[in-house]
Structure 1
Amino acid sequence: MSEPTSLLRDLVRLPSVNPRGGPGDGGETAVAEYVRDWLQRHGVQAELHEVLPGRCNVVAVVPGCREKAVLLESHLDTVEVDGMTVPPYDGEVRGGRLYGRGACDAKGPLAAFMLAAAELARGKPPLHTVVLAGVCDEEHEYRGVVHLLQRLRGRAVVGAIVGEPTGLVPAVAHKGVVRYTVRTTGRAGHSSRPEEAVNAISLMAPVLTHLAATPPAVAPHPLLGPATRSVTRIRGGTGPNTIAATCEVDVDRRTLPGEEPDVVWQQDRAELAVLGAELDPPFLIDPALDTPADSAVVSALRRALTALGHPGEVAGMPFGTDASKIARVGVPTVVFGPGSIRDAHSADESVELAEVELAARAVVAAVRGMDVENMAVEEASCG
């Protein structure tokens, strides 16, 4: 069995389902410990950082000629395994693909970054120091990347590659999200005398009709298309013979680069207040990503892919990632990795092993290819 296959299979065999705000079961930390030990066996120093009780990040460093760093970041946690049609933790290999929860999102990208870090540590020191981070809690409240950025404060980071399943396409843009709860309030009563009550569910009906018929009033993004607004959950009533006093719906508003989350919420609140609805403050905010395609890290990755015989065109992705938080602190960031988002979170999640290997080679070439004008002189002085 090849090293990429055995590495990814080992990662998939370690359950690391995000506890969604509950007490962690140690799964993320078990993966972090495996990553640390594997990297150390391959000559890369790594350590654990506790983010929440029993939930850790792992951070490794490959020293370069410069202290300025390139960040490779991916996540340790997965979504739940309910309804899977393949064994979630076997790491079964069929037809050149490895199956299991997390194989695609995002242990495949994580494995590629680990292989890249080991390769960079074996050869001549890269021009930039490389920081590899595997973080917890990406699938819920992204507290792992927030903790990582706090630890990196004061270190100059010239670019970042965030590991997610992009089909080996450099993704320079993705949507953000604002999630909030909308509420209508009526007056409870017996269902045999509805005329003496005010049905909050009925009051919600025009709100739902409006949300379905009225897209956000913002121009589409060239790589991402339109902003969207979707109702994802509805709750109302207390029993089959009681007129509902309250009704609530959760709204998922996907934002575009340039939209500020708080402004979006304020606009939606004013818009829906006309229909008699109230909005709670957002329970989740995640900014959008929009990295210039000519930034150094993106250009280096595109050149690396082209040299490997793979297309280097950039694209946008509809889903959110840790990249937006990294970019928010001023680090040019691109999302990249093996696998398709269509396979992520799916009942038969899998990733093509050849893509994992190609992703690792592309990352090595991209790291070594940054700042090509000064590379020869500085690498020679670095030895």
Structure 2
Amino acid sequence: MTPDTTSAEDLLRDLVRIPSVNPREGAGDGGETAVAAYVRDWLERRGVRAESHEVLPGRSNVVAVVPGRSESAVLLESHLDTVETDGMTVGPYDAEVRGGRLFGRGACDAKGPLAAFLLALVELAAGDDPPPYTVVLAGVCDEEHAYRGVLHLVDALADRAVVGAIVGEPTGLVPAVAHKGVVRYTVRTRGRAGHSSRPEEAVNAITLMAPVVTHLAGSAPDVPPHPLLGPATRSVTRIRGGTGPNTIPGSCEADVDRRTLPGEDLDTVWRRDRDELAALGAEVDPPFTVDPALDTAADADVVTALCRALDEHGRPSEVRGMPFGTDASKLARAGIPSVVFGPGSVGDAHSAAESVELTEVELAARVVLAAVRGVGEPRCA
């Protein structure tokens, strides 16, 4: 196979120009599927077998395979969807390049990492020497909402032994082996609605919510900090209450984001918060989002291979923790040791001027290629 000459800039520009905003609970508009189809066709033109897998109506994953000397696999996984484009100060789909950076929604999170994985995969496929393990690349839908793409992928891989995974996210080219989980729930206070001209005849639910918010802001979760992640956190992220400017509200709701640490039981976290807030007179709904934390052993084969590849390329290789959640926790829960890695900074993800440095995308591709080739090699003494 002739080595591919596609540049990181050309590939990433094409990916960013395909809108793929996660529709949340709405019907898919083909955005994620359009990116999946682009990836599939791009790979197949370069001799790499790839297929689309429908996960939800109008929403698909794409999975490609490069055979190795072993049928057991190393997984390269990243996501196809992006967050919304509201408030962006750059054209979300223009894919403009300025000062060596490509701007647009998804450039950093996570089409930059996806582009790096694609470039590594086609170079791997073009080589004369097959990799030690079969390499599976997956671009998945719905990472930014309910993780249904990676859960579908886990089911699809059930019959294949997967020795490790590199999950593409913007980590600034450092290997992340731990990240926080999350439990999100709604807390509610109930009063008695009435006319605002006679507040003494009503009970203001917003006023009842005030001590709940104050308590949540002033009391940290009572768990020891994690060496790579620091403390668990709890934040009020949204408040809803009231029906009009001249009505005392009878109900108020607040959404709470509780970031969990490895080892915390998610159901126990919610039950403790429920009991704690019930003592303040509030109701707490069952969680609407639950996602586990990640805590991969630093000596897992896929981690040591990635760290060795970073060393070879003159990059820092000390393992880190990341505060945000990723698909890696779902893969790890399925028994696949997973490390998070990719170009770009999380500070640029979801931002008004989202962008990624193109040289980082190129370097990430070279590092991933070396890491995949090095999985299973003896560790240095």
- Which of the five TM-score ranges fits, normalised by the shorter chain? over 0.9
Alpha-carbon displacement from aligned partner over 1:274-319 (angstroms, at most 9, x marks no partner): 0001100000011100011111000000000100111111110000
**1:373 Cα offset (Å):** 3.7
Map 1:224-263; keep pairs closer than 5 Å. Answer: 224-263=229-268
1:7 aligns with 2:11: yes
341, 348, 353: which is aligned to 1:343?
348
For structure 2, list consecutive stretches of 5 or more residues without a partner in the other structure: none
130, 133, 139: which is aligned to 2:135?
130
Matched position secondary structure for 1:83? coil
Partner of 1:331: 336
Partner of 1:353: 358
Partner of 2:71: 67
103, 114, 119: which is aligned to 2:118?
114
Alpha-carbon displacement from aligned partner over 1:222-247 (angstroms, at most 9, x marks no partner): 11111100001111121222211111
Alpha-carbon displacement from aligned partner over 1:12-46 (angstroms, at most 9, x marks no partner): 11111111111111111110001001111112100
Letter paired with 1:29: T
Tell me, in whole angstroms, the C-alpha distance in 2 between the residues paired with 1:238 and 1:10.
45
Greater shift after overlay, 184-193 or 351-360?
Answer: 184-193
Letter paired with 1:126: P
Matched position secondary structure for 2:23? coil
1:297 aligns with 2:299: no
Aligned length: 374
Alpha-carbon displacement from aligned partner over 1:82-110 (angstroms, at most 9, x marks no partner): 11111111111111111111110000000
Partner of 2:148: 143
1:362 aligns with 2:367: yes
Tell me, in whole angstroms, the C-alpha distance in 2 between the residues paired with 1:174 and 1:363.
20
Tell me, in whole angstroms, the C-alpha distance in 2 between the residues paired with 1:373 and 1:268.
46
Tell me, in whole angstroms, the C-alpha distance in 2 between the residues paired with 1:235 and 1:333.
38
Partner of 1:53: 57
Identity of aligned residues (%): 78
**1:2 Cα offset (Å):** 5.7
Tell me, in whole angstroms, the C-alpha distance in 2 between the residues paired with 1:168 and 1:42.
26
For structure 1, list consecutive stretches of 5 or more residues without a partner in the other structure: 375-383
Matched position secondary structure for 2:347? coil
**1:366 Cα offset (Å):** 0.6
Tell me, in whole angstroms, the C-alpha distance in 1 between the residues paired with 2:208 and 2:123.
61
Alpha-carbon displacement from aligned partner over 1:247-283 (angstroms, at most 9, x marks no partner): 1000000001111111100000011110001100000
**1:54 Cα offset (Å):** 0.8
**1:120 Cα offset (Å):** 0.9
Partner of 1:103: 107
TM-score (normalizing by structure 2): 0.97
302, 305, 311: which is aligned to 1:306?
311
Q: Which runs of 4+ in 1 moved over 2 A?
A: none
TM-score (normalizing by structure 1): 0.96
Letter paired with 2:100: G
Partner of 1:80: 84
1:202 aligns with 2:215: no
Alpha-carbon displacement from aligned partner over 1:98-153 (angstroms, at most 9, x marks no partner): 11111100000000000111011111110100010000011111110011111111
Letter paired with 1:247: C
**1:195 Cα offset (Å):** 1.8
262, 267, 276: which is aligned to 2:281?
276
Alpha-carbon displacement from aligned partner over 1:183-207 (angstroms, at most 9, x marks no partner): 0111112222222221111111111
Tell me, in whole angstroms, the C-alpha distance in 2 between the residues paired with 1:194 and 1:4.
63
21, 25, 45: which is aligned to 2:25?
21
Tell me, in whole angstroms, the C-alpha distance in 2 between the residues paired with 1:165 and 1:257.
21
